[in-house]
Amino acid sequence: MSFFERNGVLIGTYLILAVGFWTIVTIIMPMVFMVDLSFRPKLAPSQVGGPLDEYTLKNYRYFLFGSSTSAESWNTIHIRAFFVTIVASIILTLVNFAICYPIAYYMAQAATLKKLRIVLLLLIIPYWVNDILRAFAFRILLSENGFVNSVLDLMGLAGAPFDFLGANVGLYMALCYSHLLIMIFPLYNAIESQDHNQIEAARDLGAPWWHIHLFVVMPHAKPGIASGMTLCFMLTAGAVATPMVLGGPRSLWFTPIVYDRFYQLFDWPQGAAYAFILLLACIVFVLTVLKISGLKLGEITR
What are the tens digits of pLDDT across the range 234-276? 999 999 989 988 887 677 889 999 999 998 889 999 999 999 9
Separation between Cα atoms, residue 8 and residue 220, nearest integer Å: 34
Check residue 40 and report its DSSP letter.
Answer: S
Instruction: Give the whole-angstrom CA distance, residue 252 versus residue 226.
Output: 27
The architecture that CATH gives domain 75-301 is Orthogonal Bundle (1.10)
188-220: string of b/e by CB count within 10 Å (b at 16+)? bbbbbebeeeebeebeeeebeeeebbeebbbeb
pLDDT computed for residue 158 by the predictor: 58
Which range (90-104, 153-167, 282-296) has the least confidence? 153-167
SS3 154: helix
Helix 76-105 and helix 254-263, axial crossing angle in degrees, nearest 10: 120
Task: Dump pLDDT digits (tens) for 4-31.
Answer: 777 777 888 888 899 999 999 988 999 9
Which tens digit of pLDDT belongs to each residue from 200-212? 999 888 889 889 9
Q: Does the predicted TM-score (pTM) go above 0.75?
A: yes
225 pLDDT above the threshold of 80 = yes
Is pLDDT at 185 greater than 90 in this prediction? yes
CA atoms of 46 and 69, how far apart (whole Å): 28
